[in-house]
Chain A
Amino acid sequence: MEPQARTLVDISGSHAALAGRADMVLERARWAAEVFQRYDRESTMAIADAVAAAAHDSAERFADWAVRETGFGVAAHKKLKNQLTSRPLVDFYRNDDYVNPRIDEARKIVEIPRPAGVILALTPSTNPIATLNYKVLISLMTRNAIVISPHPAARECSVDAARALGEAAMDAGAPDGAIQIIENPGIPLVEELMVSPKTSVILATGGTAMVRSAYSSSNPAIGVGPGNAPVFVDSTADIDKAAKRIVESKSFDNSALCTNESVLITLEDVDARLRRSFKQAKAYICDADDVDRLRRYLFHDRGFNIECIGRDAAWIAQECGIRVPDGTLVLLAPIAQIGVEEPLSREKLCPVLAYHVVKRRNQAITQARAVLRLAGAGHSAAVHAMDEQVAMAFASAVEAYRVVVNTPCTQGAAGFQTALAPTFTVGTGFYGRSSIGENIGPGHLVHWTRLAYNSDASEYFGNYRGLKPGFSGPLPEAPSDGVPGSNGYRARRAEADAGVFSGVTREELRRMIAEELRAVLRK
């Protein structure tokens, strides 16, 4: 008979067990982070590149898997997102150095990067792999350890993807435990992870409840609220292009990204032309009855029907009993009001775009502000206009920290057709009750220790060029005395001298190396 390890007394749901599990994962990450800080830039970037390559290579496999597991989105688009969040992401930051000190001779200040330590990353079901890739890579580039807590609906693909990235990282020399994932992420366990003093910062992407919970944890948090992007199409816009771009944006991964346009606002004198352009761009314009059906289907008493997240337009139309032409990419739903009484003016993570016509530009701005007041404060907005005064007026009025101009908002606000930082965590800033108002990147995972000299011009400033902290790399492996093959251990001298004062002179180094060589030769 085979022996089985059985549980007679199950404590797995107890606070002690949950806290114990969380603590163990986080402490392993803390060790990894501590060792990671000893790495120089070259080895850091080699790890990031290796992991990015692994993510890139498996982009398609995990895109298919994510769609299969969650039912959200379009596999081809997810593949693209998975790719964008791998090699191109690392390339985007390649010239930013988060490892070596920065010297500002004019201000007599030297800045030394200090990684956060342990990043607790919450990843969503809508963009599970792209978000995971992105959070892993910005953590690695900054020599942080990351613990990923995936959305339960995307657990399986996330666990597999994280394991693959973890292996790639280890193969490239990353410290053991630099990438970990919670395999059974129940809410109580995630809460333990969030409140642990061993978590340095929570990087929360997901639903409002979870993001608020991250902020309530007492730990530093970078959380992002939901989106609900208003898009204004002005009379000065290139109407055909605007329609095309909006359709491209809304149909990209079927609007599973929170940067997708939610409510379109345009002017009376643009309305007819814009509708024609939309039709050409394969958008279907709903009649009043269709809109009723859509409204009832998309919004329950409990809120948005998550069944529709990332579903394509034809599927949604069919579910609602709306007949649409073949190849329809987006459903346009004209609405007369914006606000609490019109659910369609809320966030819709599907290719349904509310369509609202106003009389004047300033009314468009008022309505756009109302959209964001309803939901999505601090997130994204878009404007299509050739007149920069219009863009300026719109952008300075709406409470969004990124307003993309003449660009698909889904991609543009996330930094994929604009020069904004490519991200899967859009900082919703103070408007969105968040700590950061820009696209989150590696820079947010590092703080800097500043050596500041006396600013008096007559006071001396040191020559810091070429000076670096003691990058001593991975810990040397301790011996297992007596185990076959372990006889070779000798204390690494560089290690012996590394420490707070690692100012070993060249001469001393030369002497040490010579000594070691002599010792080897004597053997």
Chain B
Amino acid sequence: MSEAKLEFLDRSRAFWNPGKTQDWQDMGVDLVIDRREGYYLFDMDGRRLIDLHLNGGTYNLGHRNPELVEALKAGSARFDMGNHHFPALARTALAEALAACAPAPNMVYTAYGSGGGEAIDIAIKTARHAKQRRKIVSIVKAYHGHTGLALKTGDDRFSKLFLSEDTLGEFVQVPFNDLNAMEDALRGRDVAAVIMETIPATYGFPMPQEGYLPNVKKLCEKYDALYIADEVQTGLMRCGELWACTKYGIEPDIMVTGKGIGGGMYPIACTCIGEHCGGWLTEDGFGHISTGGGAELGCIVAMKVLEIVQRPEVRTMVRYVSDYMRAGLDRIMTEYPDFFIGIRQHGVVMGLEFNHEQGAKPVMKNLYDNGVWAIFSTLDPRVLQFKPGLLMTQADCEEVLRRVEIGIGLARDEVMGRHRKSA
């Protein structure tokens, strides 16, 4: 490590976040991201990493995608954040663009947050207003963000620290893929909404069993609760369709998109609201206010993102990247059958499962040493989040697989010892 980096890390500890800065050093990941381009990150010491973390799809289209940079630049010749009270050209234009491609025909409104958590809060507030009930059902180990209401839907890993967990019984959690538990939670008809990441990311992408999600939606209809689809990580073509919930045959009442919608260039998140549950927008349009939410520059970037991800070429490439990566990973899995034991996949949303309760951490470190950045799942560290970009080139995919094979091999030896059971 360079002197410059050592000194920088001291400053990071001193002024930014001592705990987080140190934790990364303890995990053997001394990354300080400097330059970034396409799917590459360059450490401040110059080392290149291929980014398979993408901040949960924020960099779906690559870092500093030139078209998005151009849209932002050109947009700033005319727009700034805008005034959040008034009808605004860019905000309405993006809302229209979203309505035109929404996963449900009556999803006409969009309310804006400056990040995913805020947009989730808007979704929950909208549902509560529509149903005039407080209860929200989410899944165990859910993750929807760190803002007030979103935080309470998630694992107490992040809420207890701040004494912010639900204490009033308004936030109920049920195990994923358990329809009976879901029905029990809804039976009382006192639930405003079920909020569901189409594939729970921070939980390591456990995949919904066949029929689970559509049946949850049916239960919502049966017990008069709304269905909020959190498409922050699964939307925007990552699963081969614009919105992953579409693949499961679901028309949600409310949908949240974030991260990738701002292209990594301007933070923005959107809550798309079905006409039938957007009553507050008519009753009291000033009910929710966000100065930064739906900043018009963000809207300009988001419209470009939506246009790009809907190009036919992108659809093809997502297919190729997912098929190619899967074929390669299947092959690697046969090399280390005692360690690399499973792949969860839907499109370019992938989770690699290892035969050790913290298995994804040494894999992450060894991939990092081998030039690939992919992060373990906070709420299930057996699983490595493996998230290739939508536009990844064949050459980069091949490069990733080459490095992953080496990295997993090294991690396996660390965890299981050098001697191999004969397969």
Binding site for B on A (CB under 8 A): 3-11, 14, 16-17, 19-20, 24-25, 27-28, 30-32, 34-35, 176-177, 475-487, 491-492, 495-499
Among B333, B344, B346, the residue within 8 A (CB) of A483 is: B346
What's the Cα separation between A4 and B93 when bound, in Å? 8
What's the Cα separation between A20 and B307 when bound, in Å? 12
Of the listed stretches B135-143, B203-211, B352-360, chain A binds B203-211
What's the Cα separation between A56 and B95 when bound, in Å? 47
Interchain CB contact under 8 A, A481 and B346: yes
What's the Cα separation between A7 and B214 when bound, in Å? 35
Interchain CB contact under 8 A, B207 and A31: no
Residues of A within 8 A of B207 (CB): 481-482
Highest count of chain A CB atoms <10 Å: which of B75, B248, B303, B316:
B316
Chain A's closest residue to B78 (CB) is: A9
Residues of B within 8 A of A16 (CB): 66-67, 69-70
Interchain CB contact under 8 A, B93 and A19: no
B240 within 8 A of partner (CB): yes
B180 within 8 A of partner (CB): no
What's the Cα separation between A499 and B330 when bound, in Å? 12
How would residues 379 to 399 of chain B score, 1 for a CB under 8 Å from any chain A CB and 0 otherwise?
Answer: 000000000000101100000
Interchain CB contact under 8 A, B330 and A14: no
How would residues 359 to 385 of chain B score, 1 for a CB under 8 Å from any chain A CB and 0 otherwise?
Answer: 000000000000000000000000000
Pick 16 A–B contacts, CB within 8 A, sort by A. A3-B96, A9-B78, A17-B67, A19-B66, A24-B391, A27-B391, A32-B316, A481-B346, A482-B208, A483-B210, A483-B248, A484-B210, A485-B210, A486-B210, A495-B327, A495-B330
Interchain CB contact under 8 A, B70 and A476: no
Chain A's closest residue to B240 (CB) is: A480
User: Which B residues from 51 to 101 make CB contacts under 8 A with A?
Assistant: 65-67, 69-71, 74-75, 78-79, 89-90, 93, 95-97, 99-101
Chain B's closest residue to A491 (CB) is: B330
Q: Smallest CB–CB gap between B375 and chain A, Å? A: 20
What's the Cα separation between A4 and B99 when bound, in Å? 8
Chain B's closest residue to A5 (CB) is: B97
Residues of B within 8 A of A17 (CB): 67, 70
Q: Smallest CB–CB gap between B339 and chain A, Å? A: 16
What's the Cα separation between A499 and B75 when bound, in Å? 47
Residues of B within 8 A of A491 (CB): 330, 333-334
Asked, given contacts A9-B300, A482-B346, A486-B210, whether A476 binds B327 with beta carbons under 8 Å apart, the answer is yes
Residues of B within 8 A of A498 (CB): 327, 331
B48 within 8 A of partner (CB): no
Interchain CB contact under 8 A, A20 and B66: yes
Asked, given contacts A5-B97, A480-B239, A483-B346, whether A20 binds B67 with beta carbons under 8 Å apart, the answer is yes
What's the Cα separation between A28 and B306 when bound, in Å? 19
In order of increasing CB-CB distance, the 3 nearest A-B pairs are A481-B207, A16-B70, A491-B330
Q: Smallest CB–CB gap between A88 and chain B, Å? A: 32
Chain A's closest residue to B68 (CB) is: A16
Q: Tell me the number of A-to-B contacts counted with CB atoms below 8 Å.
A: 148
B260 within 8 A of partner (CB): no
Interchain CB contact under 8 A, A481 and B344: yes
Interchain CB contact under 8 A, A11 and B210: no
Q: Chain A: interface secondary structure?
A: loop
What's the Cα separation between A484 and B307 when bound, in Å? 28
Interchain CB contact under 8 A, B394 and A25: no
B232 within 8 A of partner (CB): no
Residues of B within 8 A of A3 (CB): 95-97, 99-100, 108
What's the Cα separation between A24 and B237 when bound, in Å? 15
Asked, given contacts A6-B93, A31-B320, A477-B323, whether A11 binds B67 with beta carbons under 8 Å apart, the answer is yes
Interchain CB contact under 8 A, A31 and B316: yes
What's the Cα separation between A479 and B199 when bound, in Å? 14
Residues of B within 8 A of A7 (CB): 303
Q: Smallest CB–CB gap between B108 and chain A, Å? A: 7
Q: Smallest CB–CB gap between B385 and chain A, Å? A: 15
Interchain CB contact under 8 A, B74 and A9: yes
Interchain CB contact under 8 A, A499 and B331: yes
Interchain CB contact under 8 A, A35 and B320: yes
Asked, given contacts A479-B346, A484-B211, whether A4 binds B74 with beta carbons under 8 Å apart, the answer is no
Asked, given contacts A16-B66, A27-B317, A31-B317, whether A478 binds B71 with beta carbons under 8 Å apart, the answer is no
B196 within 8 A of partner (CB): no
Among A5, A478, A480, the residue within 8 A (CB) of B307 is: A5
Q: Smallest CB–CB gap between B60 and chain A, Å? A: 13
Interchain CB contact under 8 A, A4 and B331: no
Interchain CB contact under 8 A, A34 and B100: no
What's the Cα separation between A19 and B68 when bound, in Å? 12
Residues of B within 8 A of A20 (CB): 65-67, 308
B298 within 8 A of partner (CB): no
Residues of A within 8 A of B66 (CB): 16, 19-20
B281 within 8 A of partner (CB): no
Interchain CB contact under 8 A, B322 and A31: no
Given contacts A3-B95, A496-B333, 6 further A-B contacts (CB under 8 A): A31-B317, A478-B326, A480-B346, A484-B249, A491-B333, A495-B331
Residues of B within 8 A of A477 (CB): 319, 323
Residues of B within 8 A of A35 (CB): 320
What's the Cα separation between A222 and B70 when bound, in Å? 34
Residues of A within 8 A of B78 (CB): 9
B311 within 8 A of partner (CB): yes
Interchain CB contact under 8 A, B313 and A28: yes
Residues of B within 8 A of A495 (CB): 327, 330-331
Interchain CB contact under 8 A, A478 and B325: yes
Interchain CB contact under 8 A, B320 and A475: yes
B171 within 8 A of partner (CB): no
Residues of B within 8 A of A31 (CB): 316-317, 320, 324, 394
Residues of A within 8 A of B326 (CB): 476, 478-479
What's the Cα separation between A31 and B391 when bound, in Å? 11
What's the Cα separation between A35 and B213 when bound, in Å? 34
Residues of A within 8 A of B115 (CB): none
What's the Cα separation between A365 and B392 when bound, in Å? 58
Interchain CB contact under 8 A, B70 and A14: yes
B263 within 8 A of partner (CB): no
User: Which B residues from 202 to 239 make CB contacts under 8 A with A?
Assistant: 207-214, 239
Q: Smallest CB–CB gap between B352 and chain A, Å? A: 13
Asked, given contacts A17-B67, A475-B324, whether A4 binds B313 with beta carbons under 8 Å apart, the answer is no
Q: Smallest CB–CB gap between B360 and chain A, Å? A: 18
Interchain CB contact under 8 A, B99 and A28: no
Residues of A within 8 A of B327 (CB): 475-476, 478, 492, 495-496, 498
B12 within 8 A of partner (CB): no
Interchain CB contact under 8 A, B323 and A478: yes
Among A5, A479, A484, the residue within 8 A (CB) of B345 is: A479
Residues of B within 8 A of A24 (CB): 311, 313-314, 317, 391
Asked, given contacts A8-B93, A478-B326, A482-B248, whether A497 binds B331 with beta carbons under 8 Å apart, the answer is yes
Highest count of chain B CB atoms <10 Å: which of A479, A492, A497, A499:
A479
Q: Smallest CB–CB gap between A274 and chain B, Å? A: 57
Chain B's closest residue to A176 (CB) is: B316
Interchain CB contact under 8 A, A8 and B210: no
What's the Cα separation between A496 and B212 when bound, in Å? 30
Q: Smallest CB–CB gap between B96 and chain A, Å? A: 4
What's the Cα separation between A485 and B247 when bound, in Å? 11
How would residues 385 to 423 of chain B score, 1 for a CB under 8 Å from any chain A CB and 0 otherwise?
Answer: 000000101100000000000000000000000000000
What's the Cα separation between A236 and B308 when bound, in Å? 66
What's the Cα separation between A495 and B199 when bound, in Å? 27
Asked, given contacts A495-B327, A496-B330, A496-B331, whether A482 binds B100 with beta carbons under 8 Å apart, the answer is no
Interchain CB contact under 8 A, A8 and B96: no
Chain B's closest residue to A35 (CB) is: B320
Q: Smallest CB–CB gap between B377 and chain A, Å? A: 15
Among B300, B313, B323, the residue within 8 A (CB) of A8 is: B300
B347 within 8 A of partner (CB): yes
Residues of A within 8 A of B322 (CB): 478
Q: Smallest CB–CB gap between A438 and chain B, Å? A: 32
Among A4, A10, A475, A483, the residue within 8 A (CB) of B96 is: A4
Asked, given contacts A9-B300, A27-B391, A499-B331, whether A480 binds B316 with beta carbons under 8 Å apart, the answer is no
